[in-house]
Amino acid sequence: MRGPHNIIRLIRTGATLERTGAMRLVLDAFEAPKALRILAHTLGWPFKWLGYKGNPDMPPATRALTALGPAYIKLGQMLSTRPDLVGEDLALQLRVLQDKLPPFSKAEAMAEVERELGLPVDQIFSEFSEPIAAASIAQVHRARLADSGKEVAVKVLRPGIERAFNKDVDAFYFAARIVDLFAPGARRLRPMEVIAHFDGVVQAELDLRLESASASEFAANTSQDEGFQLPSIQWNYSARRVMTLDWADGEALGDNDALDAAGHDRRVLGNRVLSLFLRHALRDGYFHADMHQGNLKVAANGDIIAYDFGIMGHIDEYTRRVYAEILFGFINRDYKRVAEVHFEAGYVPANRDVDEFARALRAVGEPIFGMDASQISMGRLLNYLFEVTERFGMETRTELILLQRTMVVVEGVARSLDPHINIWETAYPVVADYIKKSIGPRAVIKDLLSTAQVMARFGPRLPALVESALIAQSTAPDDRKRLTTSWLTPALAGAIVGAGLFAVLSQIL
């Protein structure tokens, strides 16, 4: 119910930040202006008593977000990868949210496994540990299969997590509606659509059968990727609220001291994380969209191991080409082409000036081109980018939200491994390879083949379609006859040529 009762939920959010001492930390991290600080404290202080107390043993920010619930924890997880945005101290506090939250009991987990799999736990597993990692939605237990002796990880959803998430998202919808009604300038950000997108992502994450399917598809796409591993799913022991997969040994990607002690080159790892993400997004259009340190390990041989596939991103071929051209234009400092791509894709309204937009993009790209990450103030850069999008009337592209969010997270992970990483140098070979394969003569042939395949599927139906069209044409008034004839001839020609082209290309390719 997205009613006014959510006002209390939103007030309680501010009150909890104030009560736990996190409000000042958050305002400092984002360098909030003095007026906003005064307003936040003025509104938060009178309602301080409404705020959740949280666990006083936790640092303020972690204490506040864990008290507020899983949706807020998700936000904290994302910010934990961005020390350049929120500062090293706050990022370190928030990193606890990735996989070190308070667990629920082993007994509850075992009861959940029995309910979902329909068998006593000791018939499935010869060993079943206490929780070894707990995150916002689920926790993980180390176990051993009774029939094969294979070591596995068992992921179990938190009791009542569906209701808790729905309550948070309900309040977010209410806040978005208020923004929509009372802040017309923010409507271009499409707050309702953004929350609806977030809601859809979360609902998928709450069904571990979908996560298992995502892991299987991701594994098929990336099986030949050097330096990358995925644990296999044990389908017989997975269900809606329980997921079993092979155990993955390795060092946590967020533990730099352990990585150094194991002899791993963090510079290589930083480049690999960023390159793998770009390759998956551009080549496959299917990528891991929750790539924070809590979901990544490093194997003894240096391979990166990814797990937790609850949030996966998908972008179509056209959008991938647009995204690649924009990246490639920035890498080559061709800001006019970057601007043109934005206009061609409809990201910027057609009544804006393309040259002026190109100059605005140059102001974004030139100050950071060739710099390593330690020299770039990402906070100032994002502020300027927001100003540019507002000035040129760019609306939020909901189909790109996961891609943009994941890019921010992955870049933050790469920075945490190598503070001096050069994003452009790392991205160039991946983007250039995609451009070469997807925007050229070979890509044209591939597109024609795909089109011909679709046309050819209508082959058996063509006689009936033609007959129906001719009958409709012969019985239609004169003006409709002319209209029908105008599209019928090229349509028939296209169908015939398409079928023939498919037959030829299938032999060549």
CA 290 – CA 311 distance, rounded (Å): 6
Tokens describing residue 203: 């609902």
CA 381 – CA 365 distance, rounded (Å): 9
Instruction: Please identify which of the residues 84, 170, 290, 418 carries the catalytic annotation.
Output: 290
Task: Tell me if residue 122 is catalytic.
Answer: no
Q: Tell me the helix, strand and coil percentages in the chain, rounded to 5.
A: 65, 10, 25
The answer for residues whose C-beta is within 8 angstroms of residue 349's C-beta and 6 or more apart is 392, 393
Tell how strand 312-314 and strand 286-288 pair up: antiparallel
Tokens describing residue 236: 């017989």
Strand partners, 157: 138
Strand partners, 155: 140, 243
37: left (phi over 0), alpha (psi -120 to 50) or beta: alpha
Q: Is 32 exposed, middle or buried (0-12, 13-18, 19+ CB in 10 A)?
A: middle
Query: What's the N-to-C CA distance of the chain in angstroms?
Result: 55
Exposure string over 43-64, b if 16+ CB within 10 A, otherwise e: ebeebbebbbebeeebbbbbbb
Which residue, among 328, 334, 347, has the nearest Cα to 400 in the 3D structure? Answer: 347
CA 156 – CA 295 distance, rounded (Å): 16
Chain CA centroid to CA 450, Å: 28
Which residue is it, tokens 């959740």? 52
Q: Is the dihedral angle over the CA atoms 365, 380, 90, 397 positive or is it negative?
A: negative
Which residue is it, tokens 């330096």? 227
Active site residues: 290
